[in-house]
Structure 1
Amino acid sequence: MLDPQARALIDLLTARAIPPVHTLTPADARRYYRERRFFTQPDPPPVASTQDLQADGPHGAIPLRVYRPAGTAPDAVLPVLVYFHGGGWTIGDLDTHDVLCRDLANGSGCAVVSVDYRLGPEYPFPAAVDDCVAATRWVGANAAALRVDARRLAVGGDSAGGNLAAVVCLVLRDAGDALPAFQLLIYPATDMRAVAPSHTTNAQGYVLTADSIAYYRGHYIADPAQWSDWRASPLLAGDHSRLPPALVITAGFDPLRDEGRQYADALSGAGTKAEYVCFERQIHGFITMGRVIDEANTAVALCAAVLRRALA
C-alpha cells in the first residue's frame, strides 16, 4: 500500500495541475524545484555554523557549503559527510538540500559538506563525476583547515547524488586514493539502462516517471553508448570489492527501487559490507519531504544514526 501521506501529495500535485518535469526546460525545472521545496520540506533547523566555500576542480571552482552541527565547539575536529544532492544531474543545488544537510549534521554529529556539482545539459557526463571526485579529495586535503577528520570522511547523496557517491568510491579505489569510511546511498540510480523490473511496475503515477527519468538521463548523457560506462552506471562496474561500507535506502514505489537493491546485493556479494532498507510505502524523493510525509523524518533519523555509528 502506498503511504496515505504520499498518496495525498500525489493527488494534490494532480489537482493543481503541476506540470511534469519532463515538460519543462532545465532552467524552469530548476526554478520550480527551488521555489516549491518550501511546501514539502520542514523548516531549516539551526546549526552551529554554515560557511560557503569553493573547491578547485578540473572544470573550475566548485561551490561548497559546510555545516557544523548544533552544540559543537568551533574548534572541535568532527567526522564529515561529503554530500551530493539529487535532481537527475539536471536540477538541484545547495539550497534545495539545505534542510536535509542540516538535519543530517545535527542528527549524526558530523560536519556536512554539500557539493554544488555541475549539471547537464550545460555540463554533460562525466563533469558531475569529475566535480564530486575533486570535491571529496579537496575536503580530505583541507581537513585541518575545515576542522574535520579525514580518516572519518563519508560520502553520500540521494538519487543522482547517490549515484555520484557510489561512483566516487569506485574512482578513489581504482586510483589508489584513501577511501571514504562510509557511503550513504539514498535511492541511488545505479544502472542507466533502466532495465530493472521496478522501472516497469513503477513507471507511472509516483512523481518520478519513465518520462522524467528519460528527461534527466538525456540531459546528463546524450550518447546512449555511455549508459554502460560504470562512471554512469556503478552497478556495471567489474568489481565491487574493497569499497567502503554502505547503507542503501530505497522506496517501494520508486522506479529505481530494484537497481538500488541490486547495488546493495552487488556490494554484499563482493564482500563489501552493505545494509539495505526499503521504505516499502514510499515514493522517490520522499526523504526531503518531511513536512508532509512523516516517514521522511524516520528515514533521515536512520541515516543520521548509521552515520554516527559508522564514523564514531
Structure 2
Amino acid sequence: MRPVNPDVRAMVDAALKAGVRPLQDSDPQTARENYLAARRLDQPPLAPVASVMDINDGIAPGVSLKIIRGVDTAEPLPCLLYFHGGGWTLGSSQSHEGICRSLALAARCCVISVDYRLAPENPFPAAVDDAIQALRYVVYHAGDLNIDRTSIALGGDSAGANLATVLALLGRDGHVPEAVYQLLFYPQVDLRMTASTFDTAAEGMLVSAATIRWFVDQYTPNPAARDDWRVSPSLALSLSGLPPAFVLTCGLDPLGEEGRQYAARLEEEGCAVTALHISDQAHGFLNLGGAIKAASGVLAYAGFMLSEEWRHTKNRLMQENTQ
C-alpha cells in the first residue's frame, strides 16, 4: 500500500465527504469554474510582492501575461516564464498566482505567468504556438519589462511543464530563444500514457488516471498527434544540449513514473538535473498550499535552485566578458 501524506489524506477525505465531483465528470467550462473556485479556497493568502502587472494585448490572440516582480529594484531581474497546469483545459495565471508569487520571492526574480488558449476549443498545437509567441514577446520586450534577456528560464506544472519542455527543445534547436533553466513540476511528457504505474499510482486521489485521460482527450482528440514530440517531448530523439533542470515528481500521481524516467534520461544525456521525488504527495499539491503544508517548502527549494543557476550563469558571463 502506498504511503499517503496526512495532509493529502485529510484533503481527499474532506472532498469525498463534501461530494466533490471529479473534474472529468463535468463539461470543460463547468470544470474551469469549479477548479478556480477550489484554488481560491485551497491556497494560502497571496504573498506580498514588489509589483504585479497584466499585459493583455500585443502578444497573440488569446494570450496574456501576468508580470510578477518579487524584488523592488531598478535593475533588470532574471525571469522565469511560467506555464500553468490544468491539462491544457483548465487553469489560468489567476489560479496559479500563488505559486508564481512564491517563486518570485524565493528566487528574487520576475515571474511571467502565461495565459494560453485552452482545449478543447483550441486543441494542439494552439498551446504550443501560444507558448512560442509568449517567449518571443518576452525576449523582444525584455528592456521594456526590465528583465535580463540572458537569464530567462522556463517552468510550469503538469501540462504547463509539458509546454516548458517543448520550448526548451525548440530553443536548443534554434527555433526560439534559448533558455538557461527548466523548472518542471510533475511534468506530463508522454501523452501515450504507457507508464506501468499510470493506472494504479493515484487510486483514490482527486487527480486520477481517468482525470489525466480526460485532459489528454481534450488537448489531442486525434490520438495520432500523441506521437509528435511537441506533444510528447519524451519522444524527442535526443535530450542532449538542454539546459539544467529541476524535476519534481510525486508517488501518488499517474505521471510520476514518466516524470522520473524523463529526469533520468536528461541526466544520462548530459543535462544537470535536480530530481525531487516525494512518494506520499499527489499530483497538483503545489497549488494546494493552504491545505498541504509541504507545498511552501518545495517551492522555496525550487526557487533557491533556480536562483543558484542564475548565479552561475551570471558568473560565467562575467568571466567570458573579461577574457
Normalised by the size of structure 1, how large is the TM-score? 0.96
Tell me, yes or no, if the aligned pair for 2:40 and 2:95 is still in contact at 8 Å.
Answer: no
**AA matched with 1:179:** E
What's the counterpart of residue 132 of structure 1?
A: 131
Deviation at 1:102, TM superposition (A): 0.7
Map of 2:94 onto structure 1: 95
- 5+ residue gaps, structure 2, are 312-323
Q: How far, CA to CA, are the matches of 1:10 and 1:249 in structure 2?
A: 21
Which amino acid counterpart does residue 306 of structure 1 have in structure 2?
M
1:3-42 alignment, distance < 5 Å: 3-42=5-44
* CA contact 2:62–2:117 (8 Å) conserved in 1: no
Matched to 1:30, the amino acid is R
Matches within 5 A, 1:233-252: 233-252=232-251
1:30 offset after TM fit, Å? 0.5
Kindly provide the CA deviation profile for residues 61-92 of structure 1, in whole angstroms up to 9, marking residues without a partner as x.
Answer: 5100001114x22x221000000000000000
- Counterpart of 1:64, as a letter, is L
| Structure 2 partner of 1:2 | 4
The answer as to whether partners of 1:56 and 1:135 remain within 8 angstroms in 2 is no
Q: Please give the alpha-carbon distance, in whole angstroms, between the structure 2 residues aligned to 1:41 and 1:30.
A: 16
Offset at residue 201 of structure 1 (A): 2.3
User: Where does residue 60 of structure 1 map in the other structure?
Assistant: 61
Distance across 2 between alignment mates of 1:229 and 1:61: 24
Deviations 1:37-70, CA, capped at 9 Å, x for gaps = 122111001111111114655x625100001114
Give how far 1:12 is off: 0.6
Q: Is 1:79–1:152's contact at 8 Å kept on the other side of the alignment? A: yes
Could you tell me which residue of structure 2 aligns to residue 205 of structure 1? 204
Structure 2 CA distance for aligned equivalents of residues 275 and 104 of structure 1: 16
**Counterpart check, 1:114 vs 2:120:** no
Secondary structure of residue in 2 paired with 1:112: strand
SS of 1:156 mapped into structure 2: strand
Distance 1:56 1:303 in 2: 31
Aligned to 1:51: 53
Alignment gaps of 5+ in structure 1: none
CA gap 1:195/1:55 in 2 versus in 1, 3 angstroms: farther
3-state SS in 1 of match to 2:290: coil
Structure 2 SS opposite 1:32:
helix
Q: Distance in 1 between matches of 2:51 and 2:185?
A: 25
After TM superposition, give the deviation of residue 298 of structure 1 in Å.
Answer: 1.3
C-alpha distance in 2 between matches for 1:203 and 1:300? 22
In the TM superposition, what whole-angstrom CA distance separates every residue of 1:244-285 from its partner, at most 9, and x where no partner exists? 110000111111001101111121111121121101110000
- 2-side partners of 1:294 and 1:61: how far apart? 34
1:155-210 CA distances to partner (integer Å, 9 max, x unpaired)?
10000001110011111222354310100000000100111122032142111112
Change (3 A) 1:239 1:155: same
Q: CA RMSD in A?
A: 1.3
1:280 is matched with which residue? 279
| One-letter amino acid of the structure 2 residue matched with residue 24 of structure 1 | S
- Give the alignment's TM-score, normalised by structure 2: 0.93
Aligned residue for 1:275, secondary structure, equals strand
Q: In the alignment, is the contact (CA less than 8 A) between 1:56 and 1:134 conserved in 2?
A: no
CA pair 271-55 structure 1, distance change in 2 beyond 3 A = farther
